[in-house]
Amino acid sequence: MELPRDAVMLRVLFGEDDKFENLPLYEAIVLKAREMKLAGATVLRGHVGFGHDSRIHTTKILRLSQDLPIVLEIVDTQEKIDRFLPVLDGMMSSGLVTLEKVQVLQYGRPAAASAK
């Protein structure tokens, strides 16, 4: 798959405890993105953060793993991201979704180059 130099990054921020159809939300989003043939998805787990309720979520020992922040990023074409947004909207009950124009410098390598 080839990505154009000008692409879009979809960033989704929510809590680790969020679910969709009995799956962790981050897993459900990644599976749906793969099913819809988006270029890829990365899930990052935060150490500390807060959202609209201003409640701190942290990995500190006394509050171990209390709904830690999750950041999920997907980079693809504007068209594919636009098709994915209504699906994502149906999966989320709360969270923050942002879009950024990005420039892709490299996405994978041709098969012959990676075999060396």
SS3 string of 70-102?
Answer: EEEEEEECHHHHHHHHHHHHHHCCCCEEEEEEE
Rounded alpha-carbon distances, angstroms, from residue 88 to 6, 29, 39, 95: 22, 7, 16, 11
Query: Can you tell me the mean pLDDT for 45-72?
Result: 74
pLDDT value of residue 61: 57
The stretch 77-105 carries a mean pLDDT of: 96
Check pLDDT > 80 for residue 42: yes
Residues in the chain: 116
In the chain, domain spans = 6-106
Q: Which CATH number fits domain 6-106: 2.40.10.10, 3.30.930.10, 3.30.70.120, 3.30.420.10?
A: 3.30.70.120
Rg, C-alpha atoms of the chain: 16
Residues 107-112 have a mean pLDDT of: 68
The average pLDDT across 51-60 equals: 69
Q: Check: CB of residue 63 under 8 Å from CB of residue 72.
A: no
